Each structure stands twice: as C-alpha cells, then as structure tokens.
A and B are shown apart, each in its own frame.
Chain A
Amino acid sequence: MNKETLIKQGGIWVFILVELAFFSIAGEFLSVTDVAFMDYGNMLLLLKQSAPIGIIALGMTIVMINGNIDLSVGATFALAAIVLLDSMTWPFMQALGDWAIPLAWLFALLTGTVLGAINGLIVWKTGVDAFIVTLGAMLGYRGLVFMYNGEQPTSHLNWTLVDFAEAQFLGLHTATWFLLGAALVLWLVMTRTVHGRNAYAIGNNREAAVNAGIRVGPHFLWNFMLIGFLAALSAVVFYSESGSVNPNDGMLYELWAITAVVLGGTKLTGGYGSIISTLGGVIAIQLLRKGLGHIGADTETVNLVIGLILIAVLFLDRQLNRRGKEELKT
C-alpha cells in the first residue's frame, strides 16, 4: 500500500481517533454527566444508533462506486417500515403467531428490493441519469408511503420482536450485529466477487467495461435492488424495536447516508471507495452527534459541524488529489 492510499483509507480512522480524544478530554471539563465519553455502554449504544443510517450507507457506497446515486432510500425505508408493521396486523398473519415475524420481515425486504428494482430498471432501460430517476422516486415513493395509510402513523408492537431487537449477543445489540454482518458480507462481495470487481470497473471506466462485455444495465439493476434491500433491512432493524412509523420517517436519510459515504472517501465520480471506510464514516458521524451532546452542545450544532466537516473533507480531498502545480488554470 503506498502513501497515497494509506492517507485516503486511513484518514477516516484517524479522524475517529481525533474525535474520541477530543470528546474525552473536552468531556472532562464540559460534560454535564459524570460518565466518561469512552464509556463501554456508551460506545455500544453508539454502534447501535449507527445501524439505521449505516446499513443504508453501505448500499449507497456500492451504488456510488458504480458512479450512480440513490436519493430514494429514505422513502424506501419508510415504505418498508410500514409494510413490516402493517403486515403483522393482517388477519392471516395474526393467525400465525410469532411465525408472522419472519414473514413480515420478508414482506418488508421484498418491498425494498422491488422499489430498488424499479429504479434500476428505469436507469437501465431509459438511460436517464440515476440522480434524476431516484430524485423522482424520492417523491414518488414518499407518495406511496402516504397513500398506504394517509397521514396517520402506522403502529404495531410485537413484544417478541421488541425483545429480539433489544437483545444483546456478546455485548453487541441486534442492530449492531446487522450492521456488522451486512458490512462483512458486502465487503466480501466488493473485494472478492466478480460482481464487486465489476462494480469498480464500471465506475472507473464505463466504456471500457462495456467494451469488455460487462453487462452494465443488469449490473446497475442488481445494485439498485441491493440498496433497496438494505434500506428495507435498515427499516426492519429499526422498527422491530420502535413499533411505530410516521409517513415522514426516513426523510433526509439519503443525505446522511451520502455524507457518511463521502466522509469515508468514496469518489462521487465512481470507481473508488470501500465498504470499511464507509463504516468508518458512519461511526464518525455518530461519534460527532454523541460527542457534541456529551460536551453539552445542542443538536443544532451537530448539523452545523457535520455540514462544515463534509465541505472540509471535500476540500482536503481536492488538495490531496491535485496534480499539483502542473495543472491548468481552468
């Protein structure tokens, strides 16, 4: 690994360390509680809270490595959540007792996958840019969310499910296991499988990939289905515990997910990025949220700081990637 890749891939972890150090020290002076910032329970909770955006961000990484983007994940998240909770109230599902749970999960995951497939098919068949396709879908899917149950929240609490969601295995919460599990699988997919390597090739040089016989259209379709599936998985993880979904839930999730992916160093133009770094980006954001809360800053500061950090990262990345002085002044 040369110096350049080291800086690129190590950057986010250094940033996390800096955050940890900063909030630990600043917390000594400013914290409203006596609990140390790097408290074990606190860190476990942090991982759990990272899961919903984190799982979506993993999918976003793959889509962005392809050179695409998905702005509709927030709405997909909400619709999958509604299907999850509502399906458990269907008569035949209730008759199944706790066996309704896996079935409800299946319905929710299927919903996400189908919504992703719709985006993927449109991108493939019409050739309209993914940004526009998913921008439209963001509105459209949100419309479907509202059409499902009007402006009312959809609620259903299943205590078996809640117990499962709140369980801890080897100290980690269920949601954390889902996040780490998804990250592991996707990391293997991106580094070890033909599909993953093709994803990089397509984002890197699409024309070359096409000429080499990689079928770009179906490839995109798979990845949009994957991100739809992951948005639904995120909903499954989150709403199993909370049991109630508002039609506006998941709004701006796409922006948070993109922020995490960009912090993790994935290139907007495609062809470069890593699942593990995205995980770092997700944790960095969550650390910042928690850390600022820990030192007594209000929630508003979080938005401000994350926004500015995102811009700063972009600036640093540009400075690093610049051809230096031989560049033309255009």
Chain B
Amino acid sequence: MAELTKSGVAGVLARQGILIAFVIFMVGFAIANQRFIAVDNVFGVIRSSAILGVMALGVTFVVIGGNLDLSVGSMMSFSTIVVLDLHDKLGPALAIPAMFALTLLLGAFIGFLVGYLKLNSLIVTLGMLSAIHGLTLTWSGGKNMDIADKSGTWFGFFGQGSVMGIPMPILMFAGLAAVLGIVLARTPFGRKVYAVGGNGTAATFSGVPRARVVFTTYLLSAFCVATAGLMQASRSMGSQNTVGQGMELEVLAAVILGGASLLGGSGTIFKTVIGVLILGFIQNGLLLVGLEFYVQYVVTWTIIILAVWLDIAAKRGRLWSPIA
C-alpha cells in the first residue's frame, strides 16, 4: 500500500496534482498541434469558457460556504430569456437592470430558504432547478426568444464586442474573477464565508451571522448567473429556453476540479479559474487533435475522479480507501 507523506514527492504531486496535470495536458497538446498555443486559440478557449467561468465564480462562494447550487443552469436560461424578451420591450438600458433584479430575487429566495430556513441546499436548488425552468417556459410561452433588430442595438457588445483587442467576455470573466477573488481572500465577508463553511456552529459561536453569510453567497451566485445570462444573450442575440440546461453540473465539476471541497471551507477563486480553464482547454485540445466534442466528457470524468482522489489520498496519507 502506497504511503504518501505530505512532504514527499507524492505529496506534492497529490496537492498540486491538478496544476501539474494541467501543464502536462497543455504541453502534450501543444506538441500534438502547434495551433493549440497560438494566441488566437488561447483567446478563443478562454472566451468560450467565460460564461461557464463566470457562473463558477459565484458557485465557488456557495460551495466554500458549505452548500451546493444546482439551480445555476436553469437560472442562466431564465436570465437569458428574460433579458432578450425585455430588450425588445424596454430597450437594452432598462432590460439589463431589470433582468439583474429578477435574477437576484431568485437568488434571494434560495438564499432565504437555505440560509435563514436552513433547508438542505441540494434539495432546495434541485427544486429550484425545476421551478425556475418552469418560470422560464411560462415567461417565454415555450418559444425561442429572439431580438428583432439585431443590428440596431448595442446589446451585442457584452458578448461580441472587445476593448483594446480583448473580447468582452474575457474581460468580464477576468474582471469579475479579480474582484471576487479579492472579496473572498481579503475582505471580512470572504473570511466569514470560509468560517461558515468550515464550521458553521463555531462561526455562530464567534458572532458570525451564518444565515446572512449563506444568503449573501446565493445572492453573489445569482449575480454571476445574471452576468453569464447577459453574456450568453448578448453573444447569440436569441436563445432557446434550455440554453443553460446541464450547466449546473459542469460548473460544479469545474469548482471541484479546482479543489474546493463539497464539505465547505476550502477552495479559492484562482483554483476555480484553473478548473474552468482545464475544462475549456481539454475540450479545445481534443477538438484540435480531431476528436469529437463528447470525448471531453469521458476525459473530464477521469480527471475529476483522479483530482479528488489524489486530494483526499494526500490528506489521509494513503492511496486506497480504508473502507473494508
């Protein structure tokens, strides 16, 4: 049985495994196909990961706070549909804040249920996944939503525009990651999120308002989802009701891949960004070497299990589980 010591090579491998795997992956693909590390390809990958990435930023807060959010996918569909619909009714300048307000309301509702009523977050957000999907369908009447005059609006800026040659989705992802990264790492609120997720009871005994902190993590998550919805709507100028379907689990996969524990109390924004990029580059790399998009599912599966396994193996000091 392999004994892993924390300071040994194996320990380093286990703790930084995800970064190392990332590097090996990148080098491998770069050798296989020069285009992989070309600037425009790298930009392309980050750009197409940006929507997932923005959602993952918010979910990182929720997960560190010790909860789950399975509703982000259907919530993202909701914001996309809502902002597209309101765009033609109110104009983009009003549609965007209105959509943010509605999405935040949903986030507040979940935050109230999980934070203040202390209901199990897995089931609450599972229920909300379904409920918000219903809400979206009710809003759209089940039809696809399209902006009528696609050329006559500045709405496309968030998804298609660029500033100083850098595409807006990348800027928004990077900007939000930077801001939220600092919030999590450097502010009292961030500290409280770790405390609540690490040991909610001890946090309460230290005067941390646990319910309010959890509530706020869901608000933040909803804010990120609204931003992602805006980016999605702006990029495509039209959408189906199911645009975000299934993303909740991909987002969670990225967060877990980044090393956040589902038990709460650990993880960082930086690691989540790495997790998101790994997913993005795997997808891209596999496409570039000529494999179909769905091969990435299998690869992602393998990587998630390996990453989490090595992580807990390093913590318990042995590779195989002690379960009899």
Contact = CB atoms under 8 A, between A and B. Distances in A.
Interface of A: 71, 122, 124-129, 131-133, 135-144, 146-147, 150, 210, 215-217, 220, 251-252, 255, 258-259, 262, 268, 298-311, 314-315, 318, 329-330
Contacts of B128: 307, 311
A139 B249 contact: yes
Given A255-B130, A311-B124, A318-B119, A143 B323 contact: no
A141 B294 CA distance: 10
B137 A303 contact: yes
Contacts of A301: 134, 138
A30 B201 CA distance: 50
Interface string B92-127: 000000000000000000000100011110111011
B171 interface: no
B262 interface: yes
A193 B304 CA distance: 36
A183 to B, nearest CB: 23
B294 A147 contact: yes
A279 B117 CA distance: 28
A300 B142 contact: yes
Interface stretch (B17-25, B224-232, B305-313): B305-313
Nearest to A259: B126
A146 B294 CA distance: 6
A97 to B, nearest CB: 34
Contact of A135 (B252, B299, B313, B320): B252
A220 B135 CA distance: 38
Nearest 5 Cβ contacts at the A-B interface:
A140-B301, A307-B131, A143-B297, A127-B321, A304-B134
Contacts of A220: 323
Contacts of B123: 258, 262, 268, 310-311, 314
A330 B210 contact: yes
Given A135-B304, A136-B300, A315 B117 contact: yes
Contact of A143 (B134, B295, B324): B295
Interface residues of B, number: 58
B306 to A, nearest CB: 9
A307 B249 contact: no
Contacts of A298: 137-138, 142
A215 B323 CA distance: 8
A216 B137 CA distance: 44
B316 interface: yes
A251 B247 CA distance: 12
Contact of B130 (A127, A138, A142, A310): A310
Contacts of A139: 249-250, 253, 297-298, 300-301, 304
Contacts of A315: 113, 117, 119
B137 A310 contact: no
Given A300-B142, A303-B137, A127 B126 contact: no
Contact of B304 (A132, A150, A310): A132
B131 A304 contact: yes
B256 interface: yes
Nearest to A311: B127
Given A132-B262, A298-B137, A314 B124 contact: yes
A12 to B, nearest CB: 15
Contacts of A124: 321, 323
Contacts of A136: 253, 300-302, 304-305
B127 A307 contact: yes
B15 interface: no
B133 interface: yes
Contact of B297 (A129, A142, A308): A142
A113 to B, nearest CB: 19
B152 interface: no
Given A126-B320, A307-B134, 7 more contacts: A126-B305, A127-B309, A139-B253, A143-B300, A146-B294, A299-B142, A310-B127
Nearest to A303: B134
B18 to A, nearest CB: 14
30 contacts: A125-B320, A125-B321, A126-B305, A127-B312, A128-B305, A128-B308, A129-B262, A132-B305, A135-B252, A135-B253, A135-B304, A138-B249, A139-B297, A139-B298, A140-B300, A143-B297, A143-B300, A144-B298, A146-B297, A215-B324, A216-B323, A251-B246, A258-B126, A259-B130, A310-B127, A311-B123, A311-B124, A311-B127, A314-B124, A330-B201
Nearest to A304: B134
A314 B294 contact: no
A306 B130 contact: yes
B161 to A, nearest CB: 32
Contact of B200 (A308, A318, A330): A330
Nearest to A135: B249
A216 B210 CA distance: 35
B322 interface: yes
B292 interface: yes
A318 B137 contact: no
A146 B300 CA distance: 14
A89 B131 CA distance: 41
B29 to A, nearest CB: 18
